[in-house]
């Protein structure tokens, strides 16, 4: 099958931010998604949208050249959704998971698409009370889409570690910095991208999935990093949802810089550096388990290196790219997070799932995380 790749400006940026809805009196997830979306005059093609569960909404930015503008766009959507939710006694939650609500108790949003997901995935479909941050970066030619997808997967541990925000699951410490990551990969077409050399291979893959009944549309290929043909982007779906606008900007800037770095390398010699699948998978697990305290396997080091060391090396290497993209401040905030603590660390420091929820509700929508 032929899959068109929409025209897009190289390294343009758009962000999708999934948020939980919380009953402020009980602290439990609240099935108010449809009410919030309708009151905001949102919908599937609007910037404020429903999601798989009625206890979630998704805020989407427009297409921007600067990360700062995309974040400001989301701040406007958040202000509108928060005002509506407050009238319902509901708060918005930027986190990969709710710290203690029971996943299987949350109602699915009506619709054939979501019903198919629930039926096909059975038990795992009932566990998808999880929220992510998705960053779309424009790619100006489809021939670059799969090399950039593989290149972005190479940087998986850094993109995940700075966003990990789901240590608690159904009232218990999961032991993972990102429990969401471990849950999300259970669905049939989710997980790491398969190595593919060209667009024709991706088209053949999509056709095989359609013929076998695994998907009904190409956008149901839900890799952690994937081409998004209808937008002309590569989409980073690695990150947990996060509470603050500063963290959104950091994730988006790191994604944008990695994509632009990979694009420039590919343009230079039509090659790209992809890591062996086993290595990418292991680094993904390490980042989900240990977050910033993970050790990263690299092809050029005999021994794994500490996450912060690898992150510092890449942040220095990406400085010229960030300057060209006008996201230097947002990229610098990545390191500030690494030093101050990302969301999973701040949540665990509160001492309990209940206290973590209160911190998350207070932080969601603020510019930066609260000081210790």
Instruction: Provide the β-strand partners of residue 18.
Output: 58
Query: Residue written as tokens 């989301």?
Result: 74
* Residue 301 pLDDT: 66
If pLDDT is split at 50, 70 and 90, which confidence band does 274 have?
A: confident
96-129 confidence digits (pLDDT tens)? 999 999 999 999 999 988 998 899 999 999 999 9
Class of domain 13-363: alpha beta
73-82, 145-154, 239-248: lowest mean pLDDT where?
145-154
If pLDDT is split at 50, 70 and 90, which confidence band does 144 have?
A: very high
115-124 confidence digits (pLDDT tens)? 988 999 999 9
DSSP for 245-303, written as a single string: HHHHHHHHHHHHHHHHHHHHHHHHHS------HHHHHHHHHHHHHHGGG-EE--TT-SS
Is the per-residue pLDDT at 302 higher than 80?
Answer: no
For the residues 71-82, what does the mean pLDDT come to? 98
Please state, for a pLDDT cut of 70, what percent of the chain lies above it: 99
If pLDDT is split at 50, 70 and 90, which confidence band does 275 have?
A: confident
Expressed in percent and rounded to 5, the helix, strand and coil fractions of the chain are: 50, 15, 35
CA nearest 208: which of 230, 189, 228, 180? Answer: 189
* Residue 147 pLDDT: 92
Distance CA 246, CA 63 (A): 19
Any idea where the domains of the chain sit in the sequence?
13-363
For the residues 182-198, what does the mean pLDDT come to? 91
- Exposed e or buried b for every residue in 195-204, given b needs 16+ CB within 10 A? ebeebeebbe
Is the per-residue pLDDT at 372 higher than 60?
Answer: no
Is the per-residue pLDDT at 327 higher than 80?
Answer: yes
Please state, for a pLDDT cut of 90, what percent of the chain lies above it: 88
Element (H, E) at 240: strand 233-240
If pLDDT is split at 50, 70 and 90, which confidence band does 31 have?
A: very high
For the residues 325-345, what does the mean pLDDT come to? 97
Distance CA 106, CA 126 (A): 8
- Exposed e or buried b for every residue in 308-317, given b needs 16+ CB within 10 A? bebbeebbee
Is the per-residue pLDDT at 300 higher than 90?
Answer: no
Which range, 148-152, 185-189, 351-355, has the best average confidence (pLDDT)?
Answer: 351-355
Average pLDDT, the chain: 95
């Amino acid at each position: 099958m032929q899959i068109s790749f929409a025209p897009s400006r190289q390294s343009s940026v758009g962000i999708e931010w999934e948020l939980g809805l919380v009953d402020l009196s009980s602290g439990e997830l609240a099935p108010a998604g449809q009410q919030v979306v309708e009151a905001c005059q949102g919908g599937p093609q609007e910037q404020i949208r429903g999601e798989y569960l009625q206890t979630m909404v998704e805020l989407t930015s427009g297409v921007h050249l600067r990360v700062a503008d995309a974040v400001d766009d989301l701040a406007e959507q958040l202000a509108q959704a928060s005002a509506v939710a407050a009238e319902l006694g509901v708060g918005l939650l930027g986190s990969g998971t709710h710290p203690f609500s029971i996943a299987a108790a949350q109602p699915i949003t009506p619709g054939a698409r979501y019903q198919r997901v629930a039926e096909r995935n059975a038990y795992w479909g009932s566990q998808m009370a999880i929220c992510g941050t998705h960053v779309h970066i424009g790619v100006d030619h489809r021939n670059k889409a799969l090399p950039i997808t593989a290149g972005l997967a190479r940087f998986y541990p850094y993109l995940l570690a700075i966003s990990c925000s789901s240590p608690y699951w159904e009232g218990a410490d999961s032991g993972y910095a990102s429990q969401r990551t471990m849950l999300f990969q259970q669905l049939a077409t989710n997980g790491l991208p398969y190595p593919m050399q060209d667009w024709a291979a991706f088209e053949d893959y999509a056709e095989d999935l359609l013929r076998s009944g695994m998907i009904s549309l190409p956008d149901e290929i839900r890799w952690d990093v994937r081409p998004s043909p209808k937008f002309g982007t590569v989409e980073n779906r690695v990150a947990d949802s996060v509470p603050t606008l500063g963290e959104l900007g950091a994730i988006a800037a790191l994604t944008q810089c990695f994509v632009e770095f990979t694009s420039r390398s590919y343009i230079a010699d039509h090659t790209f550096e992809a890591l062996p699948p086993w290595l990418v998978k292991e680094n993904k697990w390490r980042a989900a388990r240990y977050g910033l305290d993970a050790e990263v396997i690299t092809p050029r080091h005999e021994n794994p290196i500490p996450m912060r060391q690898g992150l510092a090396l890449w942040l220095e290497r990406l400085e010229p790219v960030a300057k060209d993209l006008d996201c230097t401040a947002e990229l610098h905030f990545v390191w500030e997070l690494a030093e101050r603590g990302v969301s999973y660390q701040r949540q665990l420091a509160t001492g309990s799932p209940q206290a973590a929820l209160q911190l998350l509700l207070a932080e969601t929508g603020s510019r930066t995380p609260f000081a210790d």
